[in-house]
Structure 1
């Protein structure tokens, strides 16, 4: 079955990650993706925690790796530190860079997933600092934003089995990824990129504080220097 596609050029997108995760200089210091394995081997001789920091970059094909640009490690981390359960459009076998063209959509998406994790582990009330990663990408994404797809199991709120099968099919065909409607912010879109090097530019922008009250995230504040 063929699906419609949408071409994006220099598309701006937003992704929120916990501020506790620092950039990984290895990806940014390597100019050529084919040199990454050799540089890693050398660096690992003096940094025993390097494997934990950079994750499993061997799972990312050399021709798809993103290296040598500022903050690219934030993109690579989405592919080298993969949730064992996967997510809507990826499994434990491959990562995806999830982002949104509207920062409020990115916030709503992360709030939902944070509430699931924090609730499951019964974390006490606390403030969680998040940083916004702005990125720009070029890609031709499979477009499932039409109502025909919105009514399908691809958009099940909690069961990702159908959407993961769909994603595996696209991945096997070397497709760039998916543009889909957010399940957490109705009427707004999200992106799932299957290749890190679709991203051409990355920067850090705003910082936010998520207020976890022990049961839910009941407020989100933008943090500013005064």
Structure 2
């Protein structure tokens, strides 16, 4: 149906969505290199200034019904809302936190490759391997349908649309990926729309000093080539 407050359609979202995050494989404790067996003391000190842990305490203290294992307080879910992104996101500036997820793993990989290439290129990093972990979770809510929006729409125009969606009180936006036209994404404004994040496949991105030329899938042993991933809508990771 048409939204009275802004010129876009609304749709109900109910599905599984994906993202890639940096990973250590195998995982290690965050303070393992410096704590010398005093991990608890380091955790206590760090918690005094950590905005994610502060928000988590506020959520748990503010509502007795909130389970400590709830998706609301899972680190992977509420950290994106606790730590503002200084660059903002596709539709929102740094003053409004949003979590962006992809509708399929292939699109999530293409997006992650593009972002890592921009960062590594900007910092002139030498050739290296990056270990990345896939996360998935369900998303349920009422979203603005901007799938028809041209992915090359200028940032200023996208931000104006995002502000209108926020003012309309919707849970976020469904849109087409600028990094893989065959894929859809969601930009999420409300943590309440998220199910619990689940760890999935583990990948290594091979940065050759200029671009990420190949992705290794640790589970299958297969190689995935970013150019093919972006160009082939049928290619699945």
TM-score by length of structure 1 reads 0.76
Of 148, 152, 156, the match for 1:156: 152
Q: Which runs of 5+ in 1 are unaligned?
A: 25-42
Aligned to 2:233: none
CA contact (8 A) 2:80 2:98 kept: yes
Residue matched to 1:69: 70
1:66–1:86 Cα change, 3 Å = farther
Q: Which residue matches 2:13?
A: 8
Gap runs ≥5 in structure 2: 1-5, 30-39, 222-237
| Alpha-carbon separation, structure 2, partners of 1:56 and 1:107 | 31
How many residues align? The count is 198
Give the structure 2 partner of residue 86 of structure 1: 88
Match of 1:180 in 2: 175
- Spell out, residue by residue over 1:96-126, the C-alpha distance to the aligned partner (whole angstroms, 9 max, x if none): 1111111000000111111111100111111
Change (3 A) 1:20 1:83: farther
Question: C-alpha distance in 2, partners of 1:220/1:111?
Answer: 9
Find the aligned partners of 1:121 and 1:203 in 2 and give their Cα distance: 31
Q: Is 2:92–2:98's contact at 8 Å kept on the other side of the alignment?
A: yes
Structure 1 residues 1-226: aligned runs within 5 Å: 1-9=6-14, 11-20=15-24, 47-50=44-47, 51-52=49-50, 54=52, 57=55, 68-69=69-70, 72-146=74-148, 149-150=149-150, 155-156=151-152, 159-224=154-219
How far did residue 225 of structure 1 move? 8.9
Q: Distance in 1 between matches of 2:42 and 2:131?
A: 33
Query: What is the rounded CA distance, in whole Å, between the counterparts of 2:97 and 2:145 in structure 1?
Result: 19
In structure 2, C-alpha distance between the alignment counterparts of 1:53 and 1:126, rounded to whole Å: 31
Change (3 A) 1:45 1:174: farther
Offset at residue 82 of structure 1 (A): 2.3
CA distance in 2, matches of 1:55, 1:116: 30
Question: Equivalents in 2 of 1:224, 1:96: separation in Å?
Answer: 30
The whole-number CA distance in structure 2 between the counterparts of 1:214 and 1:45 is: 36
TM-score w.r.t. structure 2 length?
0.72
